[in-house]
Amino acid sequence: MPVAASENAKEVDKLFNFMMTIATGLFLIVEGALVYSLIKFRRKKGDTSDGPHIEGNVALEIVWTAIPTVIVFILAFYSFQTYNKLGGLDPVNSRNVPPQQIAIDNNDDQIALGIGKSFGKEALQVNVQAMQYAWLFTYPETGIVSGELHVPNNQPVQLNMTAKDVLHAFWVPQLRLKQDTIPGRQSIISFIPSLKGDYPIVCAELCGPYHGGMKSVLHVEDQDSYEEWIKSNQPVQEAYLEKTLTVDDSSSNEKFLTSYIENMDTEKDTVAELTHNYSHQDS
């Protein structure tokens, strides 16, 4: 099993270990009985007689039917408890989403389109958009848009996910979480990372010829490193988003472009041709 890097992973591993314990016990019992029978009841050398004529054993048939039935019910109950503990049956926001919008405010709540107990407003909100063949992570509080997911360790995180084109599936094996992303629909994953490190994010739904290359990275960091990442990325994006360019409308095309000739190493004839064509198009 991959390393358990979230609180959810611990619960999933408990269920997996319980199932493996039962499966191992049944395997040893069945194979042990088979080997014992092969040795104990093997035909003796020179014995050509038929074995005892046995048509059936009602008591034995009841036992080997009842035991698997009880085991199945136990596993079903334990699986349901684990799924519910992880928040699988918590009401989550499952709604129609316009193509240009990842998350909207709508009360059209449904059940079970999402994994992870809802942490409400205390969770770090990250909008996730899947597309062929990349993941796009948007942090609404800061406006940061990234191709990789950064989250603080031991802090609740909520991923609000949708797809731009076709079905994808967000999967981080170390978190033991997998969730489909659906065009026009929003699905949610909530989790608490518990181990710092870098973990692969992969698409687990065949989405096209380059499906295997649809990968990203989840960075689980301490609070200081996460805040440093926020600071180092937010100003850069703000600088590009808020930058404006003012131009003197009274300036002619020749006058405006002439100041760039030296820096761009552009010939005067080229500038003249550009301004001529531009003026011709305007007319």
32 lies in some domain = no
Do 207 and 168 contact (CB within 8 A), yes or no? yes
User: Residue 23: what pLDDT?
Assistant: 94
pLDDT at 248 over 90: no
| pLDDT higher at 69 or 279 | 69
In a domain, 247, yes or no: no
Q: What is the C-alpha radius of gyration for the chain, rounded to an integer number of angstroms?
A: 31
Distance CA 166, CA 128 (A): 14
Q: Is 57 exposed, middle or buried (0-12, 13-18, 19+ CB in 10 A)?
A: exposed
Is residue 17 situated within a structural domain?
Answer: no
Residue 41: the pLDDT is 84
Band (216; pLDDT cuts 50, 70, 90) = very high
What's the structural domain count of the chain? 1
Predicted model pTM? 0.65
Give the residue-averaged pLDDT of 25-40.
Answer: 93
Domain CATH for 139: 2.60.40.420
